[in-house]
């Protein structure tokens, strides 16, 4: 957990204790207890103030609590300590996206890609920010690059399907959604998207079965405000889901 520079500054027992606290923080975050995780990371920030990872990790759990200003301050500090540490740029980009600061987010994802050009998460996230700007073709290209780099990472392919539907390539979008649901049956986003698009196509039975699976996995898909402002589906996909929800 401590950086190599810090190993000389702290005893082995202090470093071991820090590792224990970090494990508690990660476990709390995995359970969605971001406020508890923040307390642990704050303890580590105070103990290891020159470690960029602890600042970045505290920023992550602050994102989980929608404390975006505080999260960005943590990422800024992490970057000051280690300007070539890509995680802080990636995570700050996510916080900027949450504030709909698309240009700032894209700048940070570009920084990640300058350090790690083959990073599929940075490419996927840059696609998200470009989609936020309604630059659909540019977003699609980023998603497709990310999918090519990480074939076992389904999210870019799912995002590409949403953009294809937005751009009017509906049959290909639905085909890709079906393939993803077949391969990843617990992929709630594609279940919900497939339900919406199939309903518009008049395939009610198949739409309804996918919808039952989707909300069983994640009931937030019933909330159009969440879909539009947090998940941020493209407008045509939101319209399709709205039709489904209104008619059911």
The predicted pLDDT at position 8 comes to 47
- Do 120 and 195 belong together in one domain? no
Q: Tokens 């470690």 sit at which residue?
A: 51
- Do 103 and 56 belong together in one domain? yes
- Do 10 and 72 belong together in one domain? yes
Q: What is the pLDDT along the chain (248 residues), one digit of tens a residue?
A: 444 334 447 788 888 889 999 999 999 999 999 999 999 999 999 999 999 999 999 999 999 999 999 999 999 999 999 999 999 999 999 999 999 999 999 999 999 999 999 999 999 999 999 999 999 999 999 999 999 999 999 999 999 999 999 999 999 999 999 999 999 999 999 999 999 999 999 999 999 999 999 999 999 999 999 999 999 999 999 999 999 999 74
CATH number at residue 5: 1.25.40.10
Q: Which of 126, 145, 167 is the last residue of a domain?
A: 126
Spatial contact of 55 and 71, defined as CB atoms under 8 Å apart: no
The predicted pLDDT at position 112 comes to 97
d(CA 75, CA 9) in angstroms, rounded, equals 23
Does 145 reside within a domain? no
Q: What DSSP assignment string belongs to 74-112?
A: HHHHHHHH-TT-HHHHHHHHHHHHHTT-HHHHHHHHHHH
- Do 174 and 243 belong together in one domain? yes
Spatial contact of 221 and 214, defined as CB atoms under 8 Å apart: yes
d(CA 16, CA 13) in angstroms, rounded, equals 5
**Residue 165 belongs to domain spanning:** 153-248
CA atoms lying within 13 Å on the CB side of residue 131: 31
Spatial contact of 22 and 1, defined as CB atoms under 8 Å apart: yes
- Do 39 and 118 belong together in one domain? yes
- Do 160 and 120 belong together in one domain? no
- Do 41 and 120 belong together in one domain? yes
Model pTM score: 0.89
The predicted pLDDT at position 1 comes to 44
The predicted pLDDT at position 11 comes to 80
Does 140 reside within a domain? no
Does 240 reside within a domain? yes
- Do 159 and 60 belong together in one domain? no
Give the number of domains in the chain.
2
- Do 7 and 120 belong together in one domain? yes
Q: Which of 126, 145, 164 is the last residue of a domain?
A: 126
The beta strand positions in 110-227, using DSSP E, are none
- Do 65 and 113 belong together in one domain? yes
Does 135 reside within a domain? no
Burial class (CB in 10 A: 0-12, 13-18, 19+), 55: buried
- Do 120 and 185 belong together in one domain? no
The beta strand positions in the chain, using DSSP E, are none
- Do 60 and 11 belong together in one domain? yes
**Contact residues for 216 (Cβ-Cβ < 8 A; gap 6+):** none
């Amino acid at each position: 957990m401590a950086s190599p520079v810090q190993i000389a500054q702290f005893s082995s027992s202090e470093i071991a204790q820090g590792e224990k606290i970090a494990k508690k923080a990660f476990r709390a975050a995995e359970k969605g207890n971001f406020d508890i995780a923040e307390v642990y990371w704050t303890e580590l920030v105070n103990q290891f103030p020159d470690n960029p990872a602890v600042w970045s990790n505290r920023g992550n759990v602050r994102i989980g609590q929608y404390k975006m200003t505080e999260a960005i301050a943590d990422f800024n500090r992490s970057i000051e300590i280690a300007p070539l540490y890509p995680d802080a740029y990636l995570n700050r980009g996510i916080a900027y996206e949450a504030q709909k600061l698309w240009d700032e987010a894209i700048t940070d994802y570009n920084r990640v890609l300058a350090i790690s050009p083959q990073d599929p998460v940075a490419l996927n996230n840059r696609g998200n920010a470009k989609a936020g700007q309604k630059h659909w073709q540019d977003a699609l290209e980023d998603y497709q690059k990310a999918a090519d780099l990480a074939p076992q990472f389904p999210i870019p392919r799912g995002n590409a399907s949403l953009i294809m539907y937005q751009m009017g390539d509906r049959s290909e979008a639905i085909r890709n959604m079906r393939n993803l649901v077949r391969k990843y049956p617990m992929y709630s986003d594609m279940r919900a998207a497939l339900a919406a698009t199939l309903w518009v196509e008049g395939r009610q039975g198949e739409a309804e079965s996918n919808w039952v699976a989707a909300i069983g996995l994640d009931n937030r898909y019933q909330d159009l405000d969440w879909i539009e402002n947090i998940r941020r589906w493209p407008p045509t996909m939101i319209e399709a889901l709205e039709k489904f929800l209104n008619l059911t």
